[in-house]
Amino acid sequence: MSKRVSNTVRYKYPLPIHPLDLPQLFVHNPISWAYWLYSYITSYNALSNKIHVDITKHNNFIHIEVRDLADMKYLWDRGFFGTGQLSRSEPTWYEQTRKKFQSSSDGKSNGMSLERVTKLRRKQRVEFKKQREIVEEKLLQLRREGNLTPEQEVEILEQERDKLRKFKDDQASLHIMDQDEDITEQENKRLLLQRSEILDENDNLLNLESLQLMPVETIFLSFALPILDISPVDFISKCCLTDISRYSEDLHTLLIQYAAYHHYRSHGWCVRSGIKFGSDYILYKRGPPFQHADFCIMVLDSNCSKPYTWYSTIARVCGTANKTLVLCYVERLETEEQILEWLQRGQLTKVFNSFKVGEVIYRRWVAGRNRD
């Protein structure tokens, strides 16, 4: 069985570009020079074929999807682009479903997915809380009866705490995990039903999952790093649901959203959707497998003014999630007519250079915590 690849090796490249893999050069050896120059001339680090994206419109929404498994893995491993529609973030549905069917047929377990680990931890927390409530109820009943001295209460409390610690240790043991991994008869029936729905005529597993990209990610991967098989100008026109002959509100929102996205990507941040935390983006230093996000980003027009309750609401949500709220104000430096002219000519570099990004960190002030 092959060993699991470490995250440092797997996510070695922060973007879907990487330097040439050249051999070591020995300066005093002419043969080494010749081999190094040959490797440099013949090496090629660009994609042989651009990644295909499917773009569909539904009412006022646009969906950008990558369906090829290799392309999905490539975009996730090199920059954490997109979100698996049937997974939490990383598109793991195909691999986990294949392992699930394989383990159910041969009776062997192939490890636990991130979703499975999360489900197990939640179950363990619920069981632990139940045991803790039993202990608290027992102590409360003894106090009501009034038959306890302070020394006896301390002794009983220590005994119950030891029981809770032992219960928590037992939960983390492999025995408990193996019991949780057992597949019941009802689970087997459900798997058989799933087999009939997601297997083709040759019993090959169908890939029902796709990698969904945000509009700003699609522009970034077609303009800044042209690896998608779509023109950024054509995509912007599709995103606005109208032609780009006039400067609409949708166009302005898309441009300032991308200006902020490109700003943070160019400074080395891993930018992901922040919809779970009520923000536009969240920023990771390296990516989701390494640590939690540090900042929530709200992208606003430089002339935008919100009521105080709006700022307070967003700050409260971000503070509860232990994240710092950053208000990213984007200012347009050129006229609408000039931007439209550049956009119609395909001069996107001039378009995005006509926006200026400014940031303000917003923190919630708490009287009890912020005293001198």
Q: Torsion angle, CA of 90/93/97/98, rounded to 10 degrees?
A: -70
Q: How many Å apart are CA 363 and CA 360, to the nearest integer?
A: 10
**Catalytic residue list contains 99:** no
From the candidates 292, 311, 356, 362, give the one annotated as an active-site residue. Answer: 292
- H or E element at residue 330: strand 324-332
CB contact at 8 A, 23 and 36: yes
- H or E element at residue 32: helix 30-42
Give the chain's length. 372
Question: Look-up: residue for tokens 């570009």?
Answer: 17
SS3 6: coil
CA distances (Å), 125 to each of 29, 129, 130, 168, 263, in order? 63, 6, 9, 9, 40
Question: Look-up: residue for tokens 């700050």?
Answer: 315
**Catalytic residue list contains 100:** no
**Catalytic residue list contains 323:** yes
From the candidates 323, 329, 350, 362, give the one annotated as an active-site residue. Answer: 323
Q: How many Å apart are CA 136 and CA 128, to the nearest integer?
A: 12
Which residues 6+ apart lie within 8 Å of 282 measured at CB? 271, 272, 273, 274, 293, 295, 296, 297, 323
From the candidates 74, 247, 258, 284, give the one annotated as an active-site residue. Answer: 284
- H or E element at residue 308: helix 308-320
Which residues 6+ apart lie within 8 Å of 189 measured at CB? none
Strand partners, 330: 301, 357
Q: How many Å apart are CA 257 and CA 219, to the nearest integer?
A: 11
Q: CA-based diameter of the chain, in Å? A: 93
Which residues 6+ apart lie within 8 Å of 298 measured at CB? 279, 280, 314, 325, 326, 327, 328
Assigned token pair, 184: 């019941």
Distance separating the N- and C-terminal Cα atoms of the chain: 59
Give catalytic residue positions.
Answer: 284, 292, 323
